[in-house]
Structure 1
Amino acid sequence: MPKGGRDGGRQARRRRLYKSIMAARASLLDYSPYVANHAPPPAPERLPPPASVLEALLQAVKQTRREGEFGIEKLSCLDVDGAIAELEGRTLLEEAVRRGHSGVVNQLMRAGVDPTWRVDAPPPDEALAARLDATRLVVANAGDAQMSFHIMEIIDARLRWRSLEDRDALGACVFCGAEKPKAGVAYRCKKHVACEACCWNNCGASKLDMTLAPRRRLMLAQKVWVGCPCCPRAASARNLADVPPDAATLMPHFDANDDNNNHEEEESLPPEEIARRSRARYDVVNETPRAKEKLHFTALPHHLAQRQHLGLTRAHRDERMFDAASTGDVYRLAALIEVGCDICCRDDAGRTPLLIAAAYDHADAVRLLLRCGAQLDEVDNGGHAARDAASSRSASQALAVIDEWTGHLSAEQWSSRSKTSASTAGVAEPRGAAEACQRALSRLEPGRSTSSAIRLLNTPVDSLAYPTYEVDGIFDEAFLAALEAMGNSLPRHCARLGRGRGSGNTDAIRISYFDATGIVSRGIASALAGARAMDPKFPLSAVQPNVKFLVYECDGGKLVPHTDLSKTCDETGMHTTHTLIIYLTGGPNSGGETVMLKKLPKVHEFNEETAPATNAGELHRLYRSACTSCCEGTYDEAMPRRGRLFVFPHDAPHLAMPVLKAPKLILRAEAY
């Protein structure tokens, strides 16, 4: 088989499947400009299933472990929402719930089946409102296992309602007070009923507002309870294991194989001992991933679903720690600590899970991490500790937990922790230069100078919705000097770029920085406002707080052709559309131009074209030639110049020409 033939076919099928799933979900989703700033894909035309297909689906739902018949791509094109005569008026989804086939329920939901459809539906307006509210629960980033659990619980309550002989004896709806609920549900406690629309709309503790950022929605998803809101959870749950423990008092539990360990003693274990036990398990995890264990899909409540897929390597564990801390998922954090993790692991910006949780005001997560040995005086690359991030970002709840915790520590305990932390901080120890830069930035108000100029670069016709701009004179010199000093003082990470599509080797050193205080972000936002004042069509208004300084320390440093990836802002839920570059060094004949390409070339062809170069000047000349021969030419380019702001769409192919006069320092961020 030709090289890439099998993989290419598999990737094409995955792309078609992804498009069909997203299109199917578009038929249900209530898209909002606050959720995503991209137009949803068109919904496919869903046709009634042929008799033979319907018969196969019915046979599959009546048998165990026949989820394979429910192909998502096939189901997304079939209208299987309605009642089926062979199932005594039940829908296909209701029959799967009745038989307890959670795998089939998951497949149907992923294909876009409407869970609110029922024979005794309310009038159209109420039905539409119920569908929208149901969708908010379904797409709340809860994961397939939790989504299926919620759907099965509500539909099971619907089926229980239909089997009631004397519905009036159970009283009015527990939510709206309607004396005779229409299209109701009956809770497992056998004491209360509710309108199904009210059940979808309330879901226990809180509504899942789709106008919130995705990570905030996930935080609310942890608190969703679809059982009876009037009875104790233990009385209205299927079993006691489905009742989530109290997040405020949650603690990890180690198994009985640990020495001198039981659940009673764990409550009194010192934080350092919990961190030591978890780190001991973390240290024996293989660096090379093992074969994934194939598990039969099971619908689970959130606190149990988060105990699955905890990572096969240490790097996987670290990534899941960061994700759980950013969403405030205490159940995920507790599970990771139990199986083994590094409580004080660091991301590219030097942030620990405690600092991330404090920055996003997740009080329960901060409390759990502190109880399990997280260090308060650990700092990131910019010298920020958890309390600094919480205070700067007005995270009042997390700040209260931190202050309460520090009040419980004696002077001797605090001194010993500080010494331990300082000896293990490594590259993230506080740096006076970075702190001085922060003070300098805090005194500055960057704005438009009298010599500001803006230029719309030559772009392809089909990319006019995402124009490319070059802006000069928009930053004060003092602001640029402070940024340059900060970039030079932050610790160097020798991680190479190369994450974008088609990227390869680069000579840029990446220095990640988390703008915990918001000073850099506010300064750039002020400059973007100045650019919009010069050109009302300027598309950007804000940047992500995670920025990177790129340093080219030697002549000949370059960046091969590639495209960038869009990111989702944790606080606003908006998807970034543009890459933003601020040149902090540069001048005439210094090289390092950012070139916008007409086509993304094949990496090996481009590398072969530029391989004969022996010095920076010759490499620069060969890059010019390769732009024409391999990339079908260029649209435009931005010359490095101190203070120049350059923005371009993520999906635009581009490269950085070899540097002729090193060093070259730029600040890179994602903007929207």
Structure 2
Amino acid sequence: MPKETLRRREQKAAAFAVRSGLAQRRPLDAEDAKGLFSAIDARDGSGFGIRKLSGLDLDGFHEAPATIPWERRITLLYYAAWRRRDHFVNGLLRAGADPSARLPGDGDGDGDCEPCVDGVRSMVAKLRPESAVWVARAVVRLRHAGACLVPSTCADDDGEAGADTTSESKGCGRRSCRCLCQECGVTAEERRQKGLVPMLAWMPCGHRCCEPCFWNLFLRLASQSPGAEVEAAELHCPCPGCSVRAHDGTPAVGAVDSKTVLSHQEDKVDGENAQEGVTGNCGQVAGRRRAKQIPPSDCGAQDWSCPGCSYVNFKVRQDCRNCGAPRFTPAPQEEVRCDAVPPLDDPPLAGWEQMAPTERKHASLQRWLQLPVSCSAEEASQLVKGEKFQARSPKAAAATRLGFSQQERTTELHKAACAGDRLRLAALLGAGVDLDAANEYGQTALFLAAYTGSAEAVSFLAAAGADLEKVAHGGSSAAVCASGGGHRAVLGALEEAGAELPPTGEAIFEAPTGELGAGKVTELISLDSPLVGAGSCFVDGAFSESFLERLEQLFPQLPVAARQKECTSDRSYYCDSEGWVQEAFAHGLREACAGDGSRPPVDTAMAHMRFLHYSEVGGGLPPHVDLARTEASGRRSSHTFILYLADCNSGGETVLLSRMEDSKADAVLACVQPRRGRLLLFPHLCPHLARPTIEVPKLLLRGELLLSTCRSSLLAPR
């Protein structure tokens, strides 16, 4: 494996600093901001890498370029999203830019802005990059429509438009009215008088929503269940019964009256002192002119000015290069009411809704069987080579990169089930999958959805024909898993689908009831040591004999996985979905203490584990380091555990190293002899090896651990 370059290490360090909130940022001055705006125009991405952006205040407000006359001060993300520079938007979002940051239309300082809604940045980060960019672009279009929308008249109870144009400020009291925020009921005029940001507007229905209410609604919908953030990112109109959703391109025909602008825009621009703006090939300045209808002849025979944003375009373009508006404004159309809004596109499975679950399952399986079993990394890279990164709606993004082989398609299915992503599941089902395909732990997509608590995904998979009673390795079914995890909504979905539910409190294995002794901790490498193995130790006497016997009874029930290269042991994978093993680990590690009363720095075992069985003399492992595992909540493991289930008086030792070498004695930090019930703990980054076995069999349970909540050290008193 080639060594990691310095640049790559710096990129990873910058990304970690952004995720953990430790990035040191400096504010941008006017010249720096102007240079970055120009770089966005010129598509110069040299200054938009994670290393540079992580050190900048990306949520600062700067003088808006001439192509955005309806705003005074904007962020870099706002401008990149408006110019539809997808790579730049993606880079800014990865570097921690907040899509909810915005100054009021008549504000001229940072103190006038409404506070950013907490949680928007982290929620958008959960989306696929294409969808996150799409959300940023769609929000900017909603802002543009809200700033330039003509104040509409209110409709009376009979559905007829009234003639009173002052209803914008008074409000008609109806939640479906277009002059009110659909969440809080505040009018656009009231917000303008308070100096707050203009409302967002959906087109073509014309309904509005103030921006804080919009983001709070987005967070509320995205937090309802696992995977709900994907569907919330569709940004539907908040008006009840309206099926309009946002889009990231040009506002619908007739959505913006280009002859009308808000009063602050008219005061903002004076034709005599317009700032220097973007020019066409005729050399005329677009500048901060009023947003009005300008015939193409005004910029000479070669160019035309956009009726919406005043950007000067070459004559060959039929749409605006800046905002995408059409060259010629069509005749005004009647306002579209909620009941006249066309329905959304049919979901991928719309044609299969009349099928029985078994028919859906069979049809999808036949498509899946037509794929090759696997393809190499080189073949996969050739298939995706040249695919352009671009913003996609959540529904469109869910249907991309579904996998080119049976293995890839199954992996994507399991990922979607874990995330509770119904859009992705629908796309995969339409493309072709084996719904009952299991991973190395024997878990199907339905089992994984139940394990993570996604009731919507469970209902979807059950309706698609997934096997409700198929068990994972060890004997747990989806219903038993949901019961052990306390997921009542999942149990309800399984019961509705016809699954057999276990009696309350029943489990395949129960935690041992025998006395768990207070384990004795033996320190191998001091926690204060500068070595990567700092904090390594082993614990004796932490588990009862009944617990060890239950593990030995479980091992023969698990299938043996196919051996990988350079592997001399048989592996059997097990997921403790009911938590009985984790409970014993938590109790044993909490009670374990050294002679001075100190405890290990870890106390939580992760559910995914594997048994390693050395049945042949000479079996071992070369020097290596372990990888971290990330659980559904986002927490990453820090330590490896090895629980020995058999004694080895000679051979089979686990050796901790200071470097990836085993030929020199000075590289050995510690050598641990396998003893039944002994628990070895060490950091993932500590190099280690397994010496060849002399006495067989050698049996152990291996897995990952999380740092304890208090991060207590071996030398910290209890």
TM-score range, shorter chain: 0.7 to 0.9
Question: Residues 264-413 of structure 1 correspond to what in structure 2 (within 5 A)?
Answer: 266-286=352-372, 287-288=374-375, 289-290=379-380, 291=382, 292-406=384-498
| Residues 202/367 of structure 1: CA separation in 2 closer, same or farther (3 Å cut) | closer
Task: Say which SS state the counterpart of residue 199 (structure 2) adopts.
Answer: strand
Q: Which runs of 5+ in 2 are unaligned?
A: 152-167, 171-177, 253-340, 501-506, 707-718
| Residues 483/41 of structure 1: CA separation in 2 closer, same or farther (3 Å cut) | same
Residues 45-90 of structure 1, C-alpha deviations (whole Å, 9 max, x = no match) = 4654856x945x5455447x77688555454455564323543545
How far is the alpha carbon of 1:457 from its aligned partner?
1.4
Aligned equivalent of 2:563: 495
| Residues 273/521 of structure 1: CA separation in 2 closer, same or farther (3 Å cut) | same
> How many angstroms apart in 1 are the aligned matches of 2:530 and 2:493?
51
For CA contacts below 8 A with separation 6 or more, give which structure has more relative contact order.
1
| Residues 506 and 560 in structure 1, CA contact (< 8 A), matched pair in contact too | no
> How many angstroms apart in 1 are the aligned matches of 2:359 and 2:625?
46
1:517 aligns to 2:578 (yes or no):
yes
| Residues 376/533 of structure 1: CA separation in 2 closer, same or farther (3 Å cut) | farther
Residues 550-578 of structure 1, C-alpha deviations (whole Å, 9 max, x = no match) = 111111111111111111222x4422111
Aligned equivalent of 2:520: 453
How far is the alpha carbon of 1:582 from its aligned partner?
0.9
Aligned equivalent of 1:562: 624
> How many angstroms apart in 2 are the aligned matches of 1:151 and 1:234?
20
How far is the alpha carbon of 1:479 from its aligned partner?
1.3
Aligned equivalent of 1:147: 132
1:669 aligns to 2:703 (yes or no):
yes
How far is the alpha carbon of 1:272 from its aligned partner?
2.7
Give the aligned residue type for 2:592.
A
| Residues 475 and 643 in structure 1, CA contact (< 8 A), matched pair in contact too | yes
Q: Which has the higher Rg, Structure 1 or Structure 2?
A: 2
> Which of 482, 502, 510 pairs up with 2:550?
482
Aligned equivalent of 2:92: 108
1:14 aligns to 2:75 (yes or no):
no
RMSD of aligned C-alpha atoms? 3.5
Give the aligned residue type for 1:389.
C
Task: Say which SS state the counterpart of residue 641 (structure 2) adopts.
Answer: strand
| Residues 48/592 of structure 1: CA separation in 2 closer, same or farther (3 Å cut) | farther
| Residues 130 and 200 in structure 1, CA contact (< 8 A), matched pair in contact too | no
How far is the alpha carbon of 1:335 from its aligned partner?
1.0
Residues 126-172 of structure 1, C-alpha deviations (whole Å, 9 max, x = no match) = 95841533323332x11112212222222222233333576746655
How far is the alpha carbon of 1:523 from its aligned partner?
1.8
| Residues 443/71 of structure 1: CA separation in 2 closer, same or farther (3 Å cut) | closer
Question: Residues 477-626 of structure 1 correspond to what in structure 2 (within 5 A)?
Answer: 477-496=545-564, 505-531=566-592, 535-570=597-632, 572-589=633-650, 591-601=651-661, 626=663
How far is the alpha carbon of 1:462 from its aligned partner?
2.3
> How many angstroms apart in 2 are the aligned matches of 1:519 and 1:126?
54
Aligned equivalent of 2:674: 640
How far is the alpha carbon of 1:512 from its aligned partner?
0.4
> How many angstroms apart in 1 are the aligned matches of 2:566 and 2:436?
31
Task: Say which SS state the counterpart of residue 544 (structure 1) adopts.
Answer: strand
| Residues 251/49 of structure 1: CA separation in 2 closer, same or farther (3 Å cut) | same
Give the aligned residue type for 1:42.
A
| Residues 661/363 of structure 1: CA separation in 2 closer, same or farther (3 Å cut) | same
| Residues 226 and 420 in structure 2, CA contact (< 8 A), matched pair in contact too | no
> How many angstroms apart in 2 are the aligned matches of 1:453 and 1:244?
63
How far is the alpha carbon of 1:12 from its aligned partner?
3.9
Task: Say which SS state the counterpart of residue 234 (structure 1) adopts.
Answer: coil
Task: Say which SS state the counterpart of residue 530 (structure 2) adopts.
Answer: helix
| Residues 243/469 of structure 1: CA separation in 2 closer, same or farther (3 Å cut) | farther
| Residues 83 and 118 in structure 1, CA contact (< 8 A), matched pair in contact too | no
> How many angstroms apart in 2 are the aligned matches of 1:557 and 1:547?
20
Q: What is the TM-score with the length of structure 1 in the denominator?
A: 0.75
Give the aligned residue type for 2:617.
D
| Residues 446 and 523 in structure 1, CA contact (< 8 A), matched pair in contact too | no
| Residues 222 and 228 in structure 2, CA contact (< 8 A), matched pair in contact too | no
Give the aligned residue type for 1:349.
Y
Q: Which runs of 5+ in 1 are unaligned?
A: 32-39, 210-215, 254-262, 410-437, 497-503, 607-625
Task: Say which SS state the counterpart of residue 596 (structure 1) adopts.
Answer: strand
Task: Say which SS state the counterpart of residue 571 (structure 2) adopts.
Answer: strand
| Residues 357 and 365 in structure 1, CA contact (< 8 A), matched pair in contact too | yes
Aligned equivalent of 2:201: 187
> How many angstroms apart in 1 are the aligned matches of 2:185 and 2:548?
62
| Residues 126/359 of structure 1: CA separation in 2 closer, same or farther (3 Å cut) | farther
Residues 605-630 of structure 1, C-alpha deviations (whole Å, 9 max, x = no match) = x6xxxxxxxxxxxxxxxxxxx242xx
How far is the alpha carbon of 1:579 from its aligned partner?
0.9
> Is 361-370 or 346-355 further displaced after alignment?
361-370
Q: What is the TM-score with the length of structure 2 in the denominator?
A: 0.70
Aligned equivalent of 1:130: 116
Q: How many residue pairs end up in the alignment?
A: 563
Aligned equivalent of 1:157: 142
> Is 572-581 or 507-516 further displaced after alignment?
572-581
Task: Say which SS state the counterpart of residue 572 (structure 2) adopts.
Answer: strand
Task: Say which SS state the counterpart of residue 545 (structure 1) adopts.
Answer: strand
